[in-house]
Amino acid sequence: MYINTTGAAIPLGNQLGKGGAATVYLHGQDRGRAVKIFKPEYLAREQTLAKRLQQLHKLSNVAALDVEFGGKPRAVGSWPKDLVMERSGRVVGFTMDTVHDGIDLTEVIYARDPRQAFFKYSPQGKRFKSKAHHQQWMSTFLYHPEGLRNRFILCYYLAASFERIYDLRGRDGKRLDLQLCNFDIKPNNILVSLDKQGRTTHIIPYILDLDNLTMANSTGRMAPSHPQHTPEYRAPEGPVDKYYDYYSIAVIFHQLLFNIHPFEGVQGASRFTDGTVRDFFAQNKCFPWGRNGRFLKRTAVQHENFPRLPKDLQELFLRAFDSDSPGQRPAMREWSDALVRFLSDRNVRFERLFQFP
């Protein structure tokens, strides 16, 4: 039996997901909540987890952690709404908002071929209610002109959501003395759902695994004992701070908009002929359109769309992947401002913006 901070029982419903660290269940009495229970071996290994969950729970009560999407305030991610404890008082998990019919962002990124797009969630699969539901996802995100527009919109919503994490403010609007860093931002840790209201479909992102956040303020720092990272989204430098995360987020934006990782589809034509892997090119500032572009050969046609972006968006990508200092990487507000300007431009024609392979 599990209880919350008031001592009330927390019944578990159907299992929603399972990973190496925890299992997630639907709340037995509230379909709007999910319950994440950590495995005993993970709790034993992560000595700071209980304290971090307690701090995040306190934060969720004082910070402005929602973003308005589609006229409604939405939680940007899996913030602990309440703690889950054993009768002894030991913290073993937390409750959070749940997402119904959400799809892994990886599926959105790689929705290229209509015969294979969203293959993990086919019309016969459990995720889709019908072929019409499947077709809704296809028409929204398939890599074609209308899908491209929605990918730009999703980038904007993601920037707005991540800004809530890196520019923490109280509900009174004042900045809080707390810095958060994720360290393992990747598409697998982001869900996307579609909220249809009348004739309008709103795109809603939701960031998972916020229990992995590192927290720091003027008095100290609290981090996971065994932080995880994913190589293709790892920043080249060592220090783990918000600028490290800014790199990971820029990689995701590049994948959404260009359908390719920024350091894939590249070969060393002269100076970098010994480079054969993505990590080498990232370490050596080998962004195809950056300072070393003249020494590289672009082997993927997707890279040829980069010059078709507005100059301000090009500059943000260059700062993310080709700057001398991590501190030069663009903040989330810079991304959201540039994306709003672009999406508000009535002269933009998405059917002519990019060449589609």
Q: What is the mean pLDDT of the chain?
A: 89
pLDDT of residue 125: 45
The reply to whether the predicted model has a pTM over 0.85 is: yes
319: Cβ contacts below 8 Å, ≥ 6 apart: 328, 329, 330
Q: Which two tokens stand for residue 81?
A: 């709404």
- The arithmetic mean of pLDDT across residues 49-66, rounded, is 94
pLDDT at 119: 60
Residue 123 has a pLDDT of 40
Q: Which domains does the chain have, with CATH numbers?
A: 1-98 (3.30.200.20)
Report pLDDT digits (tens) over 275-290.
556 677 788 888 999 9
Residue 240 reports pLDDT greater than 60: yes
Structure confidence at residue 271 as a pLDDT band (50, 70, 90)? low
pLDDT tens for each residue of 311-354: 999 999 999 999 989 999 999 999 999 999 999 999 999 988 99
DSSP labels, 215-240: EEETTEEE--SS----GGG--SSS--
Query: Could you tell me the pLDDT band of residue 127, with boundaries at 50, 70 and 90?
Result: low
pLDDT average, residue stretch 3-19: 94
